Amino acid sequence: MISLQDRVVEIGSTAGTSPSGSTLAKMSRAKALPRAPVFDWPAQGTQGQPRLPCVGDLPAKLFLTSGRAALAAALDQIDTKPGDAVLVPSYHCPTMVAPVLLHGLQPVLYAIGPDGLPRLHDLEVVGLSRVRVMFAAHFFGLTRSLRAVRAWCDARGIALVEDCAHSFFGMAGEQPVGTWGHLATASLTKFFPVREGGLLARAEGRLKPVALRKPGWKRHVQSLADVLEFASQHQRPGGVAPLLQLLFAAKRRRRVSALRATSSDHSASPSDAAQMLQACDMGRVGELPAGPVEWIVRHQDLASIVRRRQANFDGLQEGLAGLDGAGPLFRERPMASAPYVMPLWVDDSGRADRLYVALRQHGLPVLRWDRLWPGLKKPANDSGCSWSHQVLQLLCHQDLQRKDVARIVDTTRECLRLA
């Protein structure tokens, strides 16, 4: 499943001006870094080492095709009537809103504070009579206690869905991730070398049975091919990557020309809700994931994923500290976390725009959540609104090497100087 952000990158953005200079020219000729974990042969004897808790440890769980499918399945578990409201953070990926609309429910944006947590006091003035559900995320994988959020939901009969798309691993304050919510959801593509996959889980009690379509054999083959194709683009898996590159080259040429032919449809930001829903690609929400997904996830060395993500995050955080007009959004990472990205704050929003375009042109793995769902009322007193423009999300996944992190740091510093 291609995410909204990936789709834009594959087609390539030409907006804005790129910084120039000989250092940057050299940097821009370097190969694009992987934007997600890359499949390789599982290392022998590395599983089972001590590691952080994770959403996959929760007793009741269901594998799905994506994080958005998991959010949709969470809504299936909760009693709602058409027109009931779901609280969604103002700072969001559109894939958090699409499942709500698909269920005929009304998304209502809530403000977040500078720590990324819901501003619960401000919520009382919105009018909560029709609210049945709240989505709360551990943004960037920087896990936090949701004790107050859970208590607030319990007091009002609201079901809390803990969105762990960014935080598959970790302690969220005094409890493991995924255990604060009545339900927890996760996105597997962000933490594992799979191209589709999500998880719905529950710490207490069972999940209600749900009817999911079984994928046909073609889907299983396609899923494996997607994993191998992405890996071969990044010289993996060891030993067979060159052969796979040859095999996939022709297929890629065909796809690139097809994408070029339709690029005018996608390169513009979706401007209305219908286009946005279409871009969210909700077609496979009611389907089981293809067979290879669960197998690959179960054969990963979880301790090493956590260690490498922490090291990459810390490398980015240290390398980008002390800049003029920009810097890590948070001073510290929670010790027991395995982040998804390092959030970089840029003081000036025009400079943030230029930096974002430049970093994408240099092939760096960076995202920004600048697409708010059209037509939804923005809350007051909100940090999410400025984050959506001024926070760049620098990926720190386990398959970025130390030299890649150094490249991200050097390129970002150089682009910032010129932005």
Q: How many CA atoms lie within 13 A of 7 on its CB side?
A: 19
How many residues touch ligand PLP (CB under 6 A)?
A: 14
C-alpha–C-alpha distance, residues 67 and 72, integer Å:
9
Shortest distance, position 7 Cβ to ligand PLP, whole Å? 11
CA angle, 216 as apex, 215 and 220 as ends, to 5°? 75
Shortest distance, position 64 Cβ to ligand PLP, whole Å? 9
C-alpha–C-alpha distance, residues 91 and 176, integer Å:
23
In this chain, which of 61, 119, 144, 166 binds ligand PLP, going by CB under 6 A?
A: 166
Q: Which residue's CB is nearer to ligand PLP, number 24 or number 194?
A: 194
C-alpha–C-alpha distance, residues 230 and 221, integer Å:
14
165 near ligand PLP, rule: CB under 6 A: yes
The structure tokens listed for 120 are 């619960």
198 near ligand PLP, rule: CB under 6 A: yes
Q: Which residue's Cβ lies closest to ligand PLP?
A: 67
Q: Which residue's CB is nearer to ligand PLP, number 244 or number 297?
A: 297
C-beta atoms surrounding 377 within 10 Å: 9
Q: Select from 113-121, 141-149, 160-168, 294-302 the region that touches ligand PLP (CB under 6 A).
A: 160-168
Strands 159-163 and 85-89: unpaired
Look at the block and give the residue holding tokens 């301790």: 303
C-alpha–C-alpha distance, residues 35 and 39, integer Å:
12
3 near ligand PLP, rule: CB under 6 A: yes
Shortest distance, position 146 Cβ to ligand PLP, whole Å? 14
195 near ligand PLP, rule: CB under 6 A: no
163 near ligand PLP, rule: CB under 6 A: yes
Q: Which residue's CB is nearer to ligand PLP, number 27 or number 279?
A: 279
Shortest distance, position 70 Cβ to ligand PLP, whole Å? 8
Q: Which residue's CB is nearer to ligand PLP, number 296 or number 419?
A: 296
The structure tokens listed for 319 are 């390398």
C-beta atoms surrounding 217 within 10 Å: 9
In this chain, which of 77, 80, 187, 312 binds ligand PLP, going by CB under 6 A?
A: 187
In this chain, which of 61, 68, 284, 308 binds ligand PLP, going by CB under 6 A?
A: 68
Tell me which DSSP letter residue 94 carries: G
Q: Which residue's CB is nearer to ligand PLP, number 68 or number 397?
A: 68
137 near ligand PLP, rule: CB under 6 A: yes
In this chain, which of 18, 90, 179, 189 binds ligand PLP, going by CB under 6 A?
A: 189
Per-residue interface string for the shown chain with ligand PLP, residues 87-126, x marking contact by CB under 6 A:
------x-xx------------------------------
- Residue closest to 368 by CA, chosen among 344, 395, 392: 392
37 near ligand PLP, rule: CB under 6 A: no
**Residue 135 φ/ψ, nearest 5 degrees:** -95, 125
Q: By the 8 A CB rule, do 310 and 135 touch?
A: no
Q: Strands, DSSP E only, in 59-182?
A: 60-64, 85-89, 106-110, 131-137, 159-163, 171-172, 175-176
Q: Which residue's CB is nearer to ligand PLP, number 165 or number 359?
A: 165
The structure tokens listed for 203 are 């710490």
Shortest distance, position 207 Cβ to ligand PLP, whole Å? 18
Look at the block and give the residue holding tokens 């991200």: 408
Taking CA atoms, 239 is separated from 41, 165, 265, 284, 399, in Å, by: 10, 32, 39, 33, 17
Q: Select from 65-73, 124-132, 153-161, 240-248 the region that touches ligand PLP (CB under 6 A).
A: 65-73
67 near ligand PLP, rule: CB under 6 A: yes
Element (H, E) at 233: helix 217-233
66 near ligand PLP, rule: CB under 6 A: yes
Binding site for ligand PLP (CB under 6 A): 3, 66-68, 93, 95-96, 137, 163, 165-166, 187, 189, 198
